[in-house]
Amino acid sequence: MIKSNMKNTKVTTEEINGVVWQACDTFRGVIDPSQYKDYILVMLFLKYVSDVYTEKHNEYLKKYDGNIERANRAMQLERFVVPEHSHFNWLYDQRNEPNIGELIDIGLADLEEANREKLTSADGAGIFRNVSFNSSNLGEKKDKNTRLKNLLQDFAKLDLTPSHLEGNDIIGDAYEYLIKNFASDAGKKAGEFYTPAEVSTLLAKLTKSKPGARIYDPTCGSASLLIKAGKEVGDTNFSLYGQEANGSTWALAVMNMFLHGFDNANIRWGDTLRNPKHLEGDALMKFDTVVANPPFSLDKWGQEDLQDDRFERFHRGLPPKSKGDWAFITHMIESAYKDTGMIGVVVPHGVLFRGSAEGKIRTKIITDNLLDAVIGLPANLFFGTGIPAAIVLFNKGKEQRKETLFIDASQSFVSDKNQNRLLPEHITRIVHTYTQFKENKLTAGIIEDKYSYVATLEELKENDYNLNIPRYVDTFEEETEIDITEVQKDIRTLEKELNEVRVTMENYLKELGL
């Protein structure tokens, strides 16, 4: 067995983050961060599963007085079954073997096979199918073997047994930390798998679910948003559902759920628009809360295949072929319970005002009294794009209330290097304003100058159902009136000072004989 190099104290998130981020040096400069993240995150998952298995197996050995057969039988009922040659410790012992990449791949494949219900999709694809430790992408054989040996040695420093961890969320938090840092390094590719934590927190709070809720994200990425939405419930009585089109990102989401302890989450792999996987009979499954950060203005989203959608999601109109925003929104609305469902979605601003087919869909949704709030976010919040986005909230249980809340939070941020961030106080302000609105404590008109406004359905109609936020929240700042007399006085003072400096410079030059 490998002995941990850690101190004999509880392992903290910071210690895990430091060791694992250092392990990334194995791949830096060899392959792109958007690729090597899979190797690092898979290895973290394998180390955690292995350590959990070992600790539990030792408990059973103690319980059954060292009877290995009885302990092994009991382990068949635990969270994961870990075959001997799939265990991190066994692979670590083989770290000097010339075929170590192949051995890791075999170990991962057998781990999938031993846990088919948990680690494979409905069509049999395993969560490790998109990553090969024996790939030529890792360099020539000698270099590859050295890298894999270093990787195993780095992870051997970690003791991830549950009894040695500082808290229950330690591993999940470390996983989230890594995903965030990979997103920062991955540039434009980051948007495929990561929604910034502050945006996820905000959306989760705005759509806060009640105990017993079904919560769904149709474009779940690595599932960070879905996990935050679940945690907002306040207890463990909820169920999580997600779907993700990218196979490698789907695998991240599945591992993320297990590392956060959400073993019963149902994360499916596939194209949500063309082939939604969460069904009840021949109809879309219904949810209490639907949240998402779909790909912005997705081209070729499947319009040609969905002219006659069998789920009748597009009865308000078919979105244009080159922009899938309203296709995702429509799917979300149709997936929410009829009289109670809550929907929250991150969108580019064009969704709020573009015309033609999108304008007709937007008009119908507004006149159906589904639109609850439009919240403008700061620019440069998202990795890979500097454009500002908005959160749009839909409520299928508005009843008689027909107003819509507009919030301009575009100036609510702090800059962190080249990235903007929302602070907790920014999130609290937005959530408080929306909560007041939902509780019918705000009447139509300006709520907070240059920040929020409640518009009536008649006002939206007068604006041709254009939801561009400046139409409702006036953020115009009058320029300070210029005092010409004072300006002239300042100019004369500056000219006098400039002449004095020139005289002084001429005297210095004369002294130097220049």
- pLDDT for the residue 179: 83
Tell me: the pLDDT tens digits for 204-251? Answer: 999 999 999 999 999 999 999 999 999 999 999 999 999 999 998 899
Whole-angstrom Cα distance, residue 176 to residue 259? Answer: 10
pTM, to two decimals: 0.87
Q: How confident is the model at residue 6 (pLDDT cuts 50, 70, 90)?
A: very low
Angle at 420 between CA 418 and CA 424, to 5 degrees: 145
pLDDT of 479 > 70? The answer is no
Q: How confident is the model at residue 55 (pLDDT cuts 50, 70, 90)?
A: very high
Phi, psi of 70 (to 5 degrees): -70, -40
pLDDT of 176 > 80? The answer is yes
Bridge partner residues of 291 (DSSP): 344
Whole-angstrom Cα distance, residue 426 to residue 264? Answer: 33
**Closest Cα partner for 224 from 183, 189, 194, 254?**
194
How many CB atoms are closer than 10 A to CB 321? 14
Residue 375 exposure: Cα atoms within 13 Å on the Cβ side: 25
As a whole number, mean pLDDT of residues 144-157 equals 94
End-to-end CA distance of the chain: 82
Helices (H) and strands (E) in the chain, counts: 17, 14
Q: How confident is the model at residue 192 (pLDDT cuts 50, 70, 90)?
A: low
Q: Are 468 and 475 within 8 A, CB to CB?
A: no
As a whole number, mean pLDDT of residues 10-36 equals 84
The residue with tokens 């007399």 is 485
Highest mean pLDDT among 175-179, 381-385, 436-440: 436-440
pLDDT of 300 > 70? The answer is yes
Whole-angstrom Cα distance, residue 232 to residue 482? Answer: 51
Whole-angstrom Cα distance, residue 415 to residue 15? Answer: 27
Q: How confident is the model at residue 58 (pLDDT cuts 50, 70, 90)?
A: very high
CATH architecture of 193-471: 3-Layer(aba) Sandwich (3.40)
**Closest Cα partner for 293 from 218, 388, 214?**
218
- Helix or strand holding residue 239 (H, E): strand 238-244
Whole-angstrom Cα distance, residue 41 to residue 21? Answer: 11
- pLDDT for the residue 197: 87
pLDDT of 347 > 80? The answer is yes
| CB proximity list for 456: less than 8 A, separation 6 or greater | 402, 403, 444
- pLDDT for the residue 22: 86
Query: Can you tell me whether residue 269 is helix, strand or coil?
Result: strand
Q: How confident is the model at residue 87 (pLDDT cuts 50, 70, 90)?
A: very high
As a whole number, mean pLDDT of residues 356-372 equals 97
pLDDT of 476 > 90? The answer is no
Query: Can you tell me whether residue 390 is helix, strand or coil?
Result: strand
- pLDDT for the residue 8: 55
| CB proximity list for 413: less than 8 A, separation 6 or greater | 378, 381, 420, 421, 422, 423, 426
The residue with tokens 């115009």 is 476
Widest CA span in the chain = 101
pLDDT of 2 > 60? The answer is no
pLDDT of 156 > 90? The answer is yes
Q: How confident is the model at residue 126 (pLDDT cuts 50, 70, 90)?
A: very high
Q: Do domains 13-187 and 193-471 have the same CATH topology?
A: no
As a whole number, mean pLDDT of residues 162-185 equals 82
Q: Are 55 and 163 within 8 A, CB to CB?
A: yes
The CA radius of gyration of the chain, in Å to the nearest whole number, is: 28
pLDDT of 3 > 80? The answer is no
What's the CATH number of domain 13-187, 3.40.50.300, 3.30.870.10, 1.20.1260.30, 2.60.120.10? 1.20.1260.30
As a whole number, mean pLDDT of residues 365-378 equals 96
Comparing 387 with 455, the larger pLDDT belongs to 455
As a whole number, mean pLDDT of residues 505-512 equals 81
Whole-angstrom Cα distance, residue 143 to residue 148? Answer: 9
**Percentage of the residues of the chain whose pLDDT score is greater than 90:** 69
As a whole number, mean pLDDT of residues 284-290 equals 98
**Mean pLDDT, rounded, of the chain:** 90
Q: Are 281 and 207 within 8 A, CB to CB?
A: no
Comparing 319 with 490, the larger pLDDT belongs to 319
Bridge partner residues of 276 (DSSP): none
Highest mean pLDDT among 14-23, 27-36, 267-276, 481-490: 267-276
pLDDT of 321 > 80? The answer is yes
Query: Can you tell me whether residue 455 is helix, strand or coil?
Result: strand
Query: Could you tell me the CA-to-CA distances from 324 to 62, 257, 273 in Å, in that order?
Result: 57, 28, 9
Whole-angstrom Cα distance, residue 472 to residue 469? Answer: 6
- pLDDT for the residue 459: 96
What are the residue boundaries of the structural domains of the chain, listed by start? Answer: 13-187, 193-471, 483-514
pLDDT of 7 > 50? The answer is no
